[in-house]
Amino acid sequence: MAQQRISIHGEWSSRWTFILAATGSAVGLGNIWKFPYIAGENGGGAFVLIYLLCIAMIGIPVMMAEIMLGRRGKQSPINAMRTLAQEARQHHVWGLLGWSGMIAGFLILSYYSVIAGWTLAYVPRMAAGLFQSDWLFANASPERISQMFQDFTSNPLELIIWHTAIMGLTMFIVARGVRGGLERAVNFLMPGLFLILFLLIGYAVSTGAFMQGMGFLFSADFSKLTGQSVLAAMGQAFFTLSLGMGAIMVYGAYLPRDVPITSTSVTIAGADTLVALLAGLAIFPLVFANGLAPDSGPSLIFITLPNAFGHMAGGAFFGTLFFLLLVFAALTSAISIIEPAVSWLVESRNFKRPHAALFCGVLIWLTGLLTVFSFNLLADFKPIAEKTLFELIDYLTSNIMLPLGGLFIAIFAAWAMHHDAHEEELGLGKADISYRTWLFLIRFVTPVGVIFIFLSAIGVFG
């Protein structure tokens, strides 16, 4: 019976720690680096609206399902899915869901770590005042700042060094386990993150073109919306909430039984959405105030922000804080991306946790070289659909693997699991209105929504 199952990895000390950890997983480069640049590429408002709809109608129900499966299975996603399939008298092929999640995690962290490395590299640059327009040695013009980014990313060795630093930190935290590593890290990092973000908003309000930034984010122009941009919005919803690959599931496995899943999920998704929107509100005013382009892609924050900060009083200080914030946010996500694989090696392959962390970390580090080279040596290597290797890995994971994973998680939770299991985990009776809403969303809205968006992205509806 589920109640007797316990996690060999330990448990979170409280509901609050779980909220911090899961919010730490959700809030990351996805909110601050990715959300602004894909919103920028897809025209702003209309994209943001679809993204918010996906969070509410697909994201929150899937998050509840994932936490539920994790807490009931009490193991790594692969083993949890096997156990739960057995309990529900389903085929053990459901274990594949754990496998695909683990592979998605490897691929995601491989590029995530490289980009997190960029943010780490920008901390000392900012602190040294390299981007200031008026300092003695740094006479940075906009051209010079984009040139600096070009020079930086075209140097594979330098990218490798920062990528190595991030993977090293990630392995170090994960090696120390749930309480000693994960929990301590988020306890310290998450409050700092919120603090710095609010500081930055205040700064943007007082300096940038705030209303113009608002207008870009919130006025919808549906003519810009294509099947592909709707897919990107859904992919971003999964990515930003850490859903579809088992990260939230494995965090759910460490969740004490008395924590209510429904309200906790809404809190986490709400906090994550808040951070993305706040990041947008901090970034777009600065973009417009400086006459910069919102659709400049992955380089958006690395070019526009140093530019903006470079022209402001106190810019070096706030810029340093900003990139430090990004490093924190990225680390609390990175540890959750690698945890499904590490916990599985510990459970099923007799690894000690530090060895498991090292083993996964090295493999992911190696895969990350593909992303490193996508910005220099292999920049012209675009094997499919005019995309670099980095763009392909990102597209494959965010837009295909995560939504597919989410789809099958929804199907399993909604159709294979018994109502009694739902009731035990969610603590909601059959007649409860939140339960009925969740069941309706997870049974029909999520699967139909994901499939519909997939089909419209490949042009089935014209």
Residues that bind ligand PHE (CB under 6 A): 25-26, 28-31, 108, 239-240, 242, 245, 247, 333, 336-337
Nearest to 115 by CA among 287, 249, 272, 299: 299
Of residues 337 and 426, the one with the C-beta less far from ligand PHE? 337
Tell me how far, at minimum, the Cβ of 131 lies from ligand PHE, in Å.
24
Tell me how far, at minimum, the Cβ of 326 lies from ligand PHE, in Å.
10
Of residues 85 and 337, the one with the C-beta less far from ligand PHE? 337
Tell me how far, at minimum, the Cβ of 242 lies from ligand PHE, in Å.
3
Q: Write out the two tokens for 94.
A: 């459901």
Residue length of the chain: 462
Tell me how far, at minimum, the Cβ of 35 lies from ligand PHE, in Å.
8
C-alpha neighbours within 13 Å on the C-beta side of residue 369? 7
H helical segments located in 208-314: 210-218, 227-240, 247-253, 261-289, 300-310
Q: Which residues contact 184 (CB under 8 A, 6 or more apart)?
A: 176
Of residues 342 and 378, the one with the C-beta less far from ligand PHE? 342
Q: What share of the chain is helix, strand, coil (3-state, %, to 5)?
A: 80, 0, 20
Tell me how far, at minimum, the Cβ of 373 lies from ligand PHE, in Å.
22
Residue with tokens 């995690």: 105
Nearest to 308 by CA among 327, 322, 324, 326: 322
Q: What is the DSSP letter of 384?
A: B
Rg (CA), the chain: 21
Burial class (CB within 10 angstroms; exposed 0-12, middle 13-18, buried 19+) of 164:
middle
Tell me how far, at minimum, the Cβ of 126 lies from ligand PHE, in Å.
21
Tell me how far, at minimum, the Cβ of 217 lies from ligand PHE, in Å.
18
Count of beta carbons in the 10 Å neighbourhood of residue 175 = 18
Nearest to 186 by CA among 271, 261, 126, 104: 271
Of residues 108 and 190, the one with the C-beta less far from ligand PHE? 108
272, 240 contact by CB (below 8 A): yes
Tell me how far, at minimum, the Cβ of 50 lies from ligand PHE, in Å.
17
Evaluated on CA atoms 101, 272, 453, 66, the torsion sign reads positive
Of residues 183 and 290, the one with the C-beta less far from ligand PHE? 183
Tell me how far, at minimum, the Cβ of 337 lies from ligand PHE, in Å.
4
Count of beta carbons in the 10 Å neighbourhood of residue 319 = 26
12, 178 contact by CB (below 8 A): yes
Q: Write out the two tokens for 334.
A: 């990175």
Of residues 31 and 79, the one with the C-beta less far from ligand PHE? 31
Tell me how far, at minimum, the Cβ of 234 lies from ligand PHE, in Å.
14
Of residues 27 and 439, the one with the C-beta less far from ligand PHE? 27
C-alpha neighbours within 13 Å on the C-beta side of residue 121? 21
C-alpha 333/C-alpha 33 separation (Å) is 13
Of residues 145 and 183, the one with the C-beta less far from ligand PHE? 183
Q: Write out the two tokens for 360.
A: 């996964």
With CB atoms as reference, the residue minimizing the distance to ligand PHE is 30
Of residues 148 and 450, the one with the C-beta less far from ligand PHE? 450
Of residues 108 and 407, the one with the C-beta less far from ligand PHE? 108
